[in-house]
A and B are shown apart, each in its own frame.
Chain A
Amino acid sequence: DGGITQSPKYLFRKEGQNVTLSCEQNLNHDAMYWYRQDPGQGLRLIYYSQIVNDFQKGDIAEGYSVSREKKESFPLTVTSAQKNPTAFYLCASTHSRDSPLHFGNGTRLTVT
């Protein structure tokens, strides 16, 4: 089955530690995205990549980093510089500029 796989589903970290969230897709989509979801708020765009080895900042990129070394993979690192990292992180992909996004099932990160 084609889809987007995010792992792990739940992640716990101590404050001050960097953590990397995995996102893999087998849909052969060119573009991939990371969104953050907080209770009572809409999804907010962190980073996106339209092509391998290239990515752009979204609306809330501070404290995050990404890489896009392979078409099917777009890992997100939450660094210790992110002031409020506890959230639900969603990875998405799309195959063209005007197509809708398809989402993975998210990773819930808790930092204490």
Chain B
Amino acid sequence: QKEVEQDPGPLSVPEGAIVSLNCTYSNSAFQYFMWYRQYSRKGPELLMYTYSSGNKEDGRFTAQVDKSSKYISLFIRDSQPSDSATYLCAMSGTDSWGKLQFGAGTQVVVTP
């Protein structure tokens, strides 16, 4: 069983809808949680970075972490066709020095 599970999609939504993405994990030592966006043939771009449990909002993006359930989410409001990409969750323990565990990524398609 993988340490981080993420539904690969594709997830298709109409423009303006809310995109809801999530990952589950098994390692209770994870403390840092990240969401990256990756366009085709490009490197991942950091969207959200959170520590421990709670919510974090940045513009149209909201990240939620529920450590008791080992479950993290990313919500994208007012989705745009430019949000069409693969979204990767990643996480690590303390003192990780960049040794992240990644989900497989969810492909999102926002249709005009």
Q: Which chain A residues have a beta carbon within 8 Å of chain B's beta carbons? A: 4, 6, 31, 33, 40-45, 48, 50, 58, 90, 92-94, 97-98, 100-106, 108
Contact = CB atoms under 8 A, between A and B. Distances in A.
Contact of A97 (B4, B49, B88, B95): B95
Interface of B: 2, 4, 6, 8, 32, 34, 36, 41-46, 49, 51, 88, 90, 94-105
A102 B46 contact: yes
Contacts, number: 68
A15 B34 CA distance: 36
A100 B34 contact: yes
A43 B100 contact: yes
Contact of B32 (A31, A90, A98): A98
Contacts of B105: 42
